[in-house]
A and B are shown apart, each in its own frame.
Chain A
Amino acid sequence: MKFKRAYLEIAAFLAVYFFAVYLWTLPFQNSKIPYGEFDAISHWELADYPAQNDRTFVYLPPFIDYSYPENNKYKPHTLWYHPPFHTDLAMISAFARDRVVPIYLTNAIFASSILISVYFVMRKLFGFLPAILSSFLLTFSMRDIMPYLWGQWPERFAYAFIPLILYCFYMYYTSYSKESSKPVYIYMMSILIAVNIMIHPLGFFHSLAGLFVLWIFLLVKHKKLAFNFKHIIISLIIFIILFAIFPYQTASMLKTFAQKDANTKQPPFSRLFQWSFDPKNFGGSVPPSYFSFREMSGNWTLLSKLGINLNFLMVFLLMGIFVLVIRRQDRDIFLLAWLISLYLVLHRDFIGKTNLIHRSLSATAHIFVPITILGALSIASFIKARQISQFLKYGMVLLVIFLAFKYSMPQAYSTLDTAYDNPLKRLNQAQIDVSEWLKTNTNDQQNVSIIGPPPELMEKVWWMASISHRVSNFFEGFLTWGRYKNKPEIASSHLLNDFIVMDYSDIGLISDRSYVDKWQQYEKQNLANHTLLYNKGSIGVYKYESKN
């Protein structure tokens, strides 16, 4: 009977997770063309290159080095991220023998793995219903979905480690006594922290803050250190070994961390009473809606027709916090410590650390959602009569599911379903074909230059660079921008012996017709005497070489 219940729980979780993965993979279910902002381009190419070339690298290939030469602060021209994340994607791409679906699917599974880790931890500490509902509600978290779509891939995955790292510490601490202990948990914690760094340092700093607060809280409650010299030494050794595997990236991370932030302005005192930030301070990087709880989590205004404009999501969240504070069992302390550590991380600007601070906001749903669910389910516990309490509990489960479908799902679904379906945002077949041609017919030491694209097409040029593993020069707005005053000199000194791509395949999408005329005029005047090597689908490739 017990087994059957476990099987049912797993089946229910699989159903929720499949639903989430179905939603999160919508952007590449019908169109198998890569998409995303500049961050996504860099992640895709770092994964695709080893899979396609059957080798890994320390020094960046020329087409990546052109864009990211100084990103590694310690050793320029090398990988700036620890290699495991992109090697993971590369391995699956090599295994599945496909360039697009494996990389995007593996990333989707990584990004949505917060559903797995939250389910696991909540199931262990609070039981099945809070766990499955938390996982279900996280499916629609816009603060997770938006950065996932934009391309902040490693960071999304790194957050999924936080509950597991805290869980390992919690298990070690709560099972610890002088007579017996389970050191395997502290060893697991050590490995997970090291892997967490390798995935993204930001997740690691969140984890450290969480561990610190959890340890303090448990220490105050239990008044035991749970300190075994042998266990600590072994786990430190494990951590140091893993920490040292990628010295260039680790050193770069430490150097970045040690750097003084450019923005050291002291935040106003009132910010201590806010979780989010003023959107005006982040204009251009993320949309204002990203800073709104209501817009990112859903506006559960169930009683708005009665004139009551309460957001029940917020009500349940506050109830959850209230219940945890009143009850203060170890498992409640676990969630409270996680919540408070997130608060501390989100206010690190008070100690002058502002780097990527707005990105930490994208980890809020991971702890808000479980507490919200506990708050909603706790209503039943206020009723003494068992039958009514049970009825109310399952009623709340249905209500939460209904509210999530009604208020949280529509925005998540439409965002994912229509993501990057603008033809200006994804390469067309002609651009993919020429990229493949360049990859086959040029070597990676040769320059391939794209001259002229207007800003709205620049992401496409970068995607062409990624797919071709070439393209080392971009001359954005070359034909119209005043910045390129010495055009003849650029043509003779910078473009000589380059392959020049003239791409008219998006001609119908460019609103400024005069731009296209200038493009054609330039081609006629400057490239007519050079060899046209490729001419297909409104794209030409010239070899720009001296005729002397």
Chain B
Amino acid sequence: MNLKIENKGFIAITVVIILAFFYLILGFPGMMSALGIILIFMLPAYLILNNFDLEQDEKIIFSFFIGVGIFPSISYWLGMVISFRLAILITFILLVAIAVVLPSRNKASK
């Protein structure tokens, strides 16, 4: 388990700047969309990748590109049987739970 995010302060400032930018150009829906992209696509996948021996920039980039495939794959199938919004929430909890239980592998393996 490794839920620690490196450079928290800098990341927080960056996120605020990103949200402000999207609010400026596209209003509230734009800002909420950017927040959704960070929370849904990136955060759970980042927490999972945090358990692996990757550099922080790699974790950030991979979390986005992996998150856009893994997260919807789960919420799509869940959305068949339960409310789609609930499916999104459950998928988020599930992926964060995986990040928590996953053993940390922060060293190069043989």
Contact = CB atoms under 8 A, between A and B. Distances in A.
B14 A14 contact: yes
Interface residues of B, number: 49
Interface string B5-23: 0000010001001100110
B69 A84 contact: yes
Contacts of A90: 84
B85 A54 contact: yes
Interface residues of A, number: 64
Contacts of B71: 88, 91
A161 B80 contact: no
Contacts of B80: 55-58
A97 B85 contact: no
B1 interface: no
A116 B64 CA distance: 10
Given A29-B26, A120-B57, A192-B66, A96 B32 contact: yes
Nearest to A93: B33
A83 B88 contact: no
A181 B76 contact: no
Contact of B32 (A56, A88, A97, A191): A97
Contacts of B109: 180-183
B110 interface: yes
B110 A180 contact: yes
Nearest to B66: A191
A90 B35 CA distance: 14
A14 B72 CA distance: 26
Contact of B69 (A7, A14, A109, A242): A242
Contact of A50 (B17, B37, B84): B84
Contact of B36 (A55, A102, A181): A102
B36 A95 contact: yes
Given A25-B25, A101-B30, A94 B64 contact: no
Contacts of B39: 95
Interface stretch (A194-202, A378-386, A392-400): A194-202
Interface string B50-79: 001110010001101110111111011101
A194 B22 contact: no
Contacts of A33: none
A17 to B, nearest CB: 9
Contacts of A355: none
A184 interface: yes
A194 B33 CA distance: 25
Counting chain A CB atoms within 10 Å of each CB, the highest count among B53, B73, B108 belongs to: B73
Contacts of B53: 182, 184
A146 to B, nearest CB: 22
12 contacts: A18-B21, A25-B25, A54-B83, A56-B77, A56-B87, A57-B80, A91-B40, A94-B85, A97-B32, A101-B29, A113-B65, A175-B108
Given A91-B72, A95-B88, A195-B65, 6 more contacts: A10-B14, A101-B33, A161-B65, A183-B109, A188-B62, A192-B65
9 closest pairs, A vs B, by CB? A195-B69, A56-B79, A87-B72, A96-B32, A95-B36, A98-B29, A101-B29, A84-B72, A102-B33
Interface of B: 10, 14, 17-18, 21-22, 25-27, 29-30, 32-37, 39-41, 52-54, 57, 61-62, 64-66, 68-73, 75-77, 79-80, 83-85, 87-88, 105, 108-110
